[in-house]
Amino acid sequence: MVKEHRGRWAGVSVWLGLMCISCVWFMTTWNRDILIIGIVIVGGGVAVYAGYRFDLIYNAMERDALTGVYNRRGFMRAFSKSVRNQRSRGNMDELTLLLIDADHFKKINDRYGHYIGDQVLCYMANCLQTIQDKQTIVARWGGDEFVVLLLADQVKTIEDHIHQTLQTYPSSQIIVKVSVGTAQYPKDGTQVDTLVDVADQRMYAAKKAVQS
């Protein structure tokens, strides 16, 4: 997405440069009325350029720099929008938040280095994005934790998909396993932080159950 914006930005920059050259040409060869038209055209180009630049910066503020999925800020905004959409449909009990944590991620960093650790995080993000549709939101919450917001009736299918997909990590030396906790909106809370806390408690309870 960032590359797409950069491409647009470059195109607008070229167009703006041509307009500036045209304006100089108007100043030297045409009358005042034509010059005013040229200035208006260049002014429009500046406005378009500024709009694309703002769009690029705003998008970067809501995206995780490493994985490209939403960051916490972006997830907060997308969550609010999703809740408004559900409220308009009268389906307030159909949203579920998944908190996904990479098991033993510190060991991967310690043994293989942070570069490989970053590759694992990117792989996790890519796998989670394969489940996306218009009503599913994926974000990196922080560190090796991701959150996914989706419809409640998809939870079991999505959890199975996550576990199966992550097991296909291309390196046979690294096994990527995750623990998942869930929280339902609005039953378990109406704020993102509350839902994440509930999902976090359930995730660690599931981890302890597996370890025991």
CATH label of the domain that carries residue 97? 3.30.70.270
Confidence band of 167 (pLDDT split at 50, 70, 90): confident
Pair (50, 140) in one structural domain = no
| Residue where a domain stops, chosen among 61, 84, 104 | 61
Pair (95, 52) in one structural domain = no
Question: Mean per-residue pLDDT for 12-36?
Answer: 57
Pair (25, 116) in one structural domain = no
**Per mean pLDDT, which range of 57-66, 96-105, 154-163, 185-194 is the poorest?**
57-66
Pair (89, 185) in one structural domain = yes
Q: Is the pTM of this model over 0.85?
A: no
Whole domain around residue 47: which residue ranges?
2-61
Q: Is residue 67 part of a domain?
A: no
Pair (41, 87) in one structural domain = no
Pair (51, 153) in one structural domain = no
pLDDT at 158: 86
- Dist. CA 97–CA 148, nearest whole Å: 6
What's the domain count of the chain? 2
Region for residue 183 given its phi and psi (left: phi exceeds 0; alpha: psi -120 to 50; beta: otherwise): beta
Pair (42, 80) in one structural domain = no
Q: Is residue 66 part of a domain?
A: no
Pair (22, 113) in one structural domain = no
Mean of the per-residue pLDDT values of the chain? 80
Pair (57, 77) in one structural domain = no
- pLDDT exceeds cutoff 70 at 89: yes
What pLDDT digit, counting tens, does each position of 110-121 carry?
A: 999 999 999 999
- Do β-strands 137-142 and 178-185 pair in parallel, antiparallel, or remain unpaired? unpaired
Pair (52, 128) in one structural domain = no
Pair (51, 88) in one structural domain = no
Q: What is the DSSP letter of 132?
A: -
- pLDDT exceeds cutoff 70 at 76: yes
48-54 long-range Cβ contacts below 8 angstroms, 24+ apart: 48/12, 48/16, 49/9, 49/12, 49/13, 49/16, 52/5, 52/8, 52/9, 52/12, 53/9
Confidence band of 34 (pLDDT split at 50, 70, 90): low
Pair (36, 101) in one structural domain = no
Higher pLDDT, 35 or 166: 166
- pLDDT exceeds cutoff 90 at 196: yes
Question: Mean per-residue pLDDT for 158-183?
Answer: 89
